[in-house]
Amino acid sequence: MNPLLRRLRQDLFATPADSLLSIALLAILASGSTAFLHWAFSRAQWAVIQANSTLFALGRYPIEQQWRLWLLTALLAAAAGIGWGMLRSHPRTDRSGRLWPANDRIAALLLLLSLALPWALGLALPIQLRWWALSGLLLLLRWLAGRFGPGLPPALKRLLPLGLPLLYLIGMLLIGGGLGLAPVPPSEWGGLLLTLLQASFAILLCFPLGVLLALGRRSDLPLLRWGSVIYIEFIRGAPLITLLFLGQNMLGFLLPGGMAPERVWRAAWVLTLFAAAYLAEAVRSGLAAVPRGQVEAARSLGLSLPQAFSTVVLPQALRVALPSMVGQFISLLQDTTLLSLIGLMELLGTARTVMANPAFLGKNAEVYLTLAVLFWCCCAALGLGSRALERRLDPAAVVRSG
């Protein structure tokens, strides 16, 4: 029998009960998807998304300053292209012996998406052209880095990762202004820009804080241990929305008059301090997985305690903790939607203002569905990236290819 048919029979029609269940599920699935497709292509009015695409992307960011964000996107695309190309020119085999990053299928898919998506979304022609140019830049730099990257002097190659924090600083400068650029106050940042900014700020800063808290919780010094435990359990016991509420309403009282930061930054700090407690728990489980003998061996080789932790214990612990840490980052990205409840204009807050516009009243389904797809893609991409990184850091794979 045809293997596909055999597989189908085994999966769907193994027993009479299974067959009945399969037929019922198929019927439900078919009717559900036809109803959805009918709605999406004939009843839904997607004009609400097209007309407000800039608002969703940037909020009320001043139009005459938007070139700065295009420049930033170009820099990010360039960094992604170079990073991808460099990784690709130093492939490693994973546990099953496959190369990673292996093939050009992802590149082809990206090219196809970047060509088709701006067109399918019905963006204006100049914007379409810019997206095509950006993806062209990404793929070109990826090719260049793959072609000439391995020939670069090793000293230069070691300096390359330092470009990332530099890029973040340049990005903040481009977004907020300063050094000759016209300042754009945080109250005018919005949409996807604000969502990504809040998430990336909190992810970057909660990481060192979380590692310190996790080390504190496993410390032999009772004061450090109890301090970390109290902080972690207090934060984990409260809903994020009450902490954001605390940040908005009490921070003004806790700091000397006029020193309280802007509302956007208050929320960013609350998110960071919140995420640090959860990250600490993820790192702690990673630390628990490293045998005690590792510290003892490192110490007996003459490493100091900080050296032993930073070069022997933490690299192993963080690799074990990677999946749950990325899980925390994903939920942090999702938690940025709560900022809309305290009046910030991130994606969901922007969506609310769009739907309050009389011209787009009642277009809830279209808007929420678009946001859901956007969030789903971002979160799924983070998950995929984490799994790829896990494979690359797998010690068994390194041994095999080395």
Residues binding other proteins (CB under 8 A):
10-12, 14-15, 18, 21-22, 25-26, 29, 220-224, 227, 234, 237-242, 245-246, 249-250, 252-257, 330, 334-335, 337-338, 340-341, 348, 364-365, 368-369, 371-372, 375-376, 379-380, 383
Least distance CB 211 / other proteins (angstroms): 16
Judged by beta carbon, residue 122 or residue 252, the one nearer other proteins is 252
Judged by beta carbon, residue 127 or residue 378, the one nearer other proteins is 378
Judged by beta carbon, residue 70 or residue 265, the one nearer other proteins is 265
Calculate the alpha carbon distances from 17 to 11, 24, 26, 214 in Å.
12, 11, 14, 51
Residue 29: count of CB within 10 angstroms of its CB: 10
Least distance CB 209 / other proteins (angstroms): 15
Measured between alpha carbons, how far apart are the two ends of the chain, in Å?
44
Radius of gyration of the chain (CA): 25
Calculate the alpha carbon distances from 254 to 202, 261, 318 in Å.
21, 12, 35
Least distance CB 271 / other proteins (angstroms): 13
Cα 237 from Cα 241, distance rounded (Å): 12
Least distance CB 31 / other proteins (angstroms): 14
Judged by beta carbon, residue 96 or residue 242, the one nearer other proteins is 242
Judged by beta carbon, residue 10 or residue 357, the one nearer other proteins is 10
Residues sharing a CB contact under 8 Å with residue 203, sequence separation 6 or more, in sequence order:
275, 329, 332
Least distance CB 232 / other proteins (angstroms): 13
Assess contact for 298 and 312: CB atoms under 8 A.
yes
CA angle (340, 343, 346) in 5-degree steps: 45
Judged by beta carbon, residue 89 or residue 219, the one nearer other proteins is 219
Say if residue 31 is exposed, middle or buried (CB neighbours under 10 Å; 0-12, 13-18, 19+): exposed
Least distance CB 331 / other proteins (angstroms): 9
SS3 per residue for 314-375 = HHHHHHHHHHHHHHHHHHHHHHHHHHHHHCCCEHHHHHHHHHHCHHHCCCHHHHHHHHHHHH
Least distance CB 79 / other proteins (angstroms): 25
180: which 2 tokens? 């000759």
Judged by beta carbon, residue 18 or residue 104, the one nearer other proteins is 18
